[in-house]
Structure 1
Amino acid sequence: MRKLVLAASMALLTACAAPQQQQINFMPKAVLSSSEITSDATFNIVSKDIRSAQYVALVDSGRSNIEPIHSKQNVRISLENALLEQLQSQGFRNTVNSENTVELEIQEVLVSVKHSVMENEMDGKVVVEVTAENAQGKLVKTYTGTAKRTGAMSASNQDIEMVLNDVVGLVLKEIANDSELKEYMQERF
């Protein structure tokens, strides 16, 4: 019994001493509309994250180790909330029992970082698919945002965070300004 308690205590202490994985803030900002395009259209929003891995950045320091960095916030919920806020600013109302559905599918959210002591190179890519659907039909659109950034010295978590949030901002802006999507929802919802 004493050996079991000792082994459990050592395992617990080892787990507490293990380094914690780095995380960055993922805070997509909704692009709000200055005027409503509708006032009585309702929809139900659903989202799914189909990424094969849940990290948002991969850092390659050139020493044969690639370190994943995760988001402090849930990527799917954060993007869904930003899209919801955008659509509500355009006058659409979110209700649970609407026949109209907006589906957000997150396909890729990643910043690849290669850095050394002297320089860094970051490539960000975000791919999401938005589907507006009801009994009258369905519109499926894919939105992609990319960014490249180079800098002196190694990349900090704040640098990675900025690139990630900027690329997501570009995608949300593209969705907000998509006249085809707005017209489709305005006419059919």
Structure 2
Amino acid sequence: MKKYIVIATALLMSACASNPVQPPLALTLTPVIASQTANHLSVQMSSKDSRSQQYIGVVDSGAKNVEVFQPAENIAATFQNALTKQLASEGIKVTPSASSNIAINIEKALVNVKQGLVKYDMNSELQIALVVTTPKGTFSKQYSARSTKQEPLKVKREDIAQSLEKMMNSVLNEIANDGELRQYLTENL
């Protein structure tokens, strides 16, 4: 019986050693600060992460050695905070008493890395749905970003965070420059 306990303990310890728990990744987004402002409009804002998994990065080194990276805080909340600052710079105040709502839904957000002996391949994908609901109607649009990268040596934690940050900042920039969204907000808030 002792023999089985020793074997089970050894297997458990080796499993823990091959899949170390990674510290969470902090994401820093840069909202687009507008030079022109709207006429003091107000809106509510909500966000959710509807992905089936909550991790944002996976590094597969083969031989069943997979590392998973979690965000330091909910990525939907991170994106919402950045978009709130961006809208505030445009003169659109986010307040719980507004009659209109902007709902953010994170549908995809993953940095997938295949780590080889001398190089890694990184494929990143982000998809965010934005739904604006006003008393006059609804406007919805999906924003997405993708990137691929192949680099020598071993991937770093910072590479994973930077890839997702670049995509999220790209979507923030796309939202800031979306004439269709601007027109809907101006005419319906």
Q: If the TM-score is normalised by the length of the shorter chain, which range does it land in?
A: 0.7 to 0.9
SS at 1:96's partner residue? coil
1:146 aligns with 2:151: no
Give the gaps of 5 or more residues in structure 1.
Answer: 1-13
**Distance across 1 between alignment mates of 2:74 and 2:55:** 10
1:34 aligns with 2:35: yes
**Distance across 2 between alignment mates of 1:95 and 1:81:** 13
- Report the Cα offset of residue 33 of structure 1: 1.1
> Size of the alignment, in residue pairs?
173
- Report the Cα offset of residue 126 of structure 1: 0.8
**Distance across 1 between alignment mates of 2:29 and 2:172:** 8
- Report the counterpart of residue 114 of structure 1 in structure 2: 114
State the Cα deviation string for residues 82-116 of structure 1 (Å, max 9, x = none). 11111111110111111111111111111000112
Q: How does 1:62-101 map to 2 (within 5 A)?
A: 62-101=62-101
- Report the Cα offset of residue 147 of structure 1: 0.7
**Distance across 1 between alignment mates of 2:53 and 2:44:** 27
**Distance across 2 between alignment mates of 1:107 and 1:167:** 14
Confirm or deny: 8 A CA contact 2:51 2:108 kept in the other structure: yes
Greater shift, 112-121 or 62-71, is seen at 62-71
RMSD between aligned alpha carbons? 1.7
State the Cα deviation string for residues 158-177 of structure 1 (Å, max 9, x = none). 11111111111111111111
Give the gaps of 5 or more residues in structure 2.
Answer: 1-12
Confirm or deny: 8 A CA contact 2:111 2:124 kept in the other structure: yes
- AA partner of residue 55 (structure 1): Y
- AA partner of residue 88 (structure 2): Q
- AA partner of residue 32 (structure 2): V
- Report the counterpart of residue 133 of structure 1 in structure 2: 133
Q: Percent identity?
A: 29
- Report the Cα offset of residue 66 of structure 1: 2.2
1:61 aligns with 2:70: no
- Report the counterpart of residue 25 of structure 1 in structure 2: 26
- Report the Cα offset of residue 39 of structure 1: 2.1
State the Cα deviation string for residues 30-74 of structure 1 (Å, max 9, x = none). 1111221x1221100011110101000011112223221111122
**Distance across 2 between alignment mates of 1:125 and 1:153:** 22
- AA partner of residue 130 (structure 1): L
**Distance across 2 between alignment mates of 1:24 and 1:94:** 27
Confirm or deny: 8 A CA contact 2:21 2:67 kept in the other structure: no
Confirm or deny: 8 A CA contact 2:124 2:163 kept in the other structure: yes
